[in-house]
Amino acid sequence: MKKVEIMLIGIIIALSATVIVQYTNDRTFGYASQAAEQGPQGQPGSPGPPGPAGGAEPTGQDSTLTNLFKNTQNSIVQITSKVSTADNSIIINGQPLSGQSTRLGSGFVYDKEGHIITNNHVVEGSTTVNVTFMDGNTYTAKVVGTDPDNDIAVIQIIDNFSDESLTPLILGNSSELQAGQQVVAIGNPFGLSNTMTTGIVSAVGRLLPNDNNAGYSMPDIIQVDAAINPGNSGGPLLDLEGQVVGMNTAIKTDTGDFSGIGFAIPSDTIKRIVPVLIKNGTYQHPYLGIAGRTMDPDIALANGLPRNFKGVVVEKVVKGGPADKAGMIAATLDDNNIPHGGDIITAIDGHQIKTIDDVIAYLDDSKAVGDKTTLTVSREGKSMDLTATLGVRPAQPPQ
């Protein structure tokens, strides 16, 4: 079977390759930071966006997009950081030859205090990075907070930037996005600075596996068909009002380049997490302590339920976790990997649950560590409520 990859869209310059991580179901998810042998702002003297032919004023939709670019371009930056690399083809004293490469991505201005938002995978492993504005000015920024689970990071310029007019972008309301809505992506694909592409929202509410060792997925992800590529990581996804509705972070690909499907972290997630990162440096996600699977007809019929019964069958309950303390029971798997018995989550705090995506999204979006939550479960055909107090999500899922 040919593998389809989801790729972080950041680039490692010296390696000219993108980080790829293998996940289950024969899928690979990769994300969008890039590296190239050129300088941080692309090729010297790269022209800006072309104007209309013959110098005529753009009209209609072209005018909207042109003005949007002009109004936001100074708020979008290129981010470069140094990362350690190992050359396994050269072994010295039993160790691979070590060196440094440059990771490249994008970011956008959050406030006038010099805070900039980007992806965690763009700055991961670095304490300081370089930030380059469209005017070519480059500043040093420190990493002030990271949330690897949602691939969000905040950096802050530490040089004197009084000569730079910082214009924060407005964070819009991603919950109002609909499939078919036009959006714009701006960033630095392949190191080509200040590149603008446009397309539509293809879908909302996707669940995206994260490129970290924890194995937790990111909920409520926006799917778009606007072209984004390695180097676009951390750049804004904008609506036609110029408001940030998402942050470009990954693509689905079998070649390493954009193939029509991109993913962005929603602005509502950014609005919730970034202030906490600025204040505390980290973000604590609520934790229930279960593993589950969306019901399907085979599972339903095997458990004596209607074939279209909706919910999430609990396959694992972490010992000592919040769900365990609430009395939740896990199913057992038969030889065909079909769960039998155990609890089926049908609602949380009165909100209907149809898929495992619903569980992850509701807890992450609506609850906090220490909150109590009411879990409505179907157990042996009977409905009952369990009350759990949410804990702190561990760095590594318990085995």
Residues annotated as part of the active site: 121, 151, 233
b/e burial code for range 133-151 (CB count within 10 A of at least 16 → b): beeeebbebebbbbbbbbb
Which residues does 61 contact at the CB level (< 8 Å), separation at least 6? none
Closest CA to 267 of 174, 145, 168, 184: 174
Identify the bridge partners of residue 203 per DSSP, sorted by sequence position.
223
**In 3-state terms, what secondary structure has residue 250?**
strand
The encoded tokens of residue 169 equal 């972008």
b/e burial code for range 85-112 (CB count within 10 A of at least 16 → b): eeeeeeeeeeeeeeeebbbbbbbbbbee
CB 27 within 8 A of CB 6: yes
CA distances from 171 to 111, 117, 271 (A): 11, 11, 7
- Residue linked to tokens 């600075």: 193
CA distances from 52 to 63, 66, 71, 173, 226 (A): 10, 10, 17, 32, 21
Task: Output the CA torsion sign for 231, 82, 273, 170.
Answer: negative
Side chain identity, residue 150: N
**DSSP character at residue 117:** E
Q: Are strands 115-118 and 217-224 parallel, antiparallel or unpaired?
A: unpaired
Closest CA to 364 of 167, 150, 162: 150
Taking 3-state DSSP, the helix, strand and coil percentages for the chain, each rounded to the nearest 5, stand at 15, 40, 40
E strand or H helix at 60, and its extent? helix 60-72
E strand or H helix at 356, and its extent? helix 356-366
Region of 205 (left: φ > 0; alpha: ψ -120 to 50; beta: rest) is: left
